[in-house]
Amino acid sequence: MENLVSEARVTKDSHDSPGRIKDRFPSALSNRSVWIFDLDNTLYPAENELFSQIDMRMGDFISNLLGVDLKQAKVIQKDYFAKYGTTLAGLMDHHGVDPDHFMDFVHDIDVTAIKPDAELAEGLRRLPGQKYVFTNGSGKHARRILSRLNIEQELAGVFDLSHSGYIPKPQPEAYLAFVDHFGIQAEDSVMIDDMARNLVPASAMGMATVWLQTGNKWGELGHVSSSIDMVIKSLGSWLGNPRGGSNYD
Ligand SMILES: [Mg+2]
C-alpha cells in the first residue's frame, strides 16, 4: 500500500509529469473482470532495453530495404511510427513490405535479459478475471517473452498485430478487433500500456486505463490526461497490491 500511495504522489507532484492524472483508483477499476496487458516495456521493464534492440533491427531493415544510411533510416522509421502507430504500417503502405518478413527480422533479438518474474507471475495469478496480451508485435515474439518471464500459464490469450489485419494500436479498429476476437466487453476491461496514446481509444470505448510510466519520451507521445485512470511505475509491485490505493476513494 505504501508503495502505491507514494507512486501516485510522485506522479502528482512531479515537474516533468505530462499532466494531472485523475486518481480514480480503485473505483475506476472495481467491478472489472478483463485485464488487457501490452507486451513490450509493460510485461517486462523498459530497463531491459529489449526494445532498443528491436528499434535497431528496424533501422537495419529500412536501411537494407531502401538503400539509405542508418541515420536516414532512423528518420523514416520515427516518421512512420509517429504517423501510423507502427513503423511496419508505414512500410506496408509506402513500400509493400511483407509484415511476417519484417516481424521475423526485427524480433530476431537476444532475449536472455528477460528472466522469470515470480512477483509478476504471482500478481497475475491472484488477479481475478481473464487476462490477455494485446501487442503491436508478433505472436512469436510475445510467446517467446511470456515463456522467458514464465507467465504463459497466467494469460488466456495473445492478440498480436496479425489478428487485426496489421492495424496497430492506437487505431480504434485494432481495439474493436480485439474485443470482437475474445468476445469481451470494453466496459468490463482494464487496459495497461506504457504508451499513453494507446490508452486514448481504450478509454473512449469504456475501458478503464492504467498507464505504466517508464520515463521514456515516446511513452508520453499523444498523452491525454482524461484518458488515464491511474499511473503506475512497476507492474509487478502494483499487481502485488492492486487495491492499495483505496484511501483515494
Ligand atoms: Mg509497450
- Say yes or no: 71 and 144 in one domain: no
Domain with residue 169: its CATH number is: 3.40.50.1000
Give residue 65's domain range.
50-106
Provide the pLDDT for residue 243: 60
Share of the chain above pLDDT 90, in %: 67
**Residue 193 CA, ligand 1 centroid: distance in Å:** 6
Domain with residue 73: its CATH number is: 1.10.150.450
**Residue 195 CA, ligand 1 centroid: distance in Å:** 6
Mean pLDDT in residue range 99-124: 94
Mean pLDDT in residue range 3-18: 39
**Residue 18 CA, ligand 1 centroid: distance in Å:** 18
Cα 199 to Cα 220: distance, rounded to the nearest angstrom: 11
Q: Which long-range contacts (CB under 8 A, 24 or more apart) does 193-196 make?
A: 193/37, 193/38, 193/42, 193/169, 194/38, 194/40, 194/41, 194/42, 194/46, 194/219, 195/38, 195/169, 195/170, 195/219, 195/221, 195/222, 196/18, 196/220, 196/221, 196/222, 196/223, 196/224, 196/227, 196/228
57 is a domain residue: yes
Q: Name the band, by pLDDT with cuts 50, 70 and 90, for residue 26.
A: low
Segment 223-244, tens digit of pLDDT: 888 999 999 989 998 988 766 4
**Residue 1 CA, ligand 1 centroid: distance in Å:** 25
Provide the pLDDT for residue 85: 80
Cα 183 to Cα 189: distance, rounded to the nearest angstrom: 12
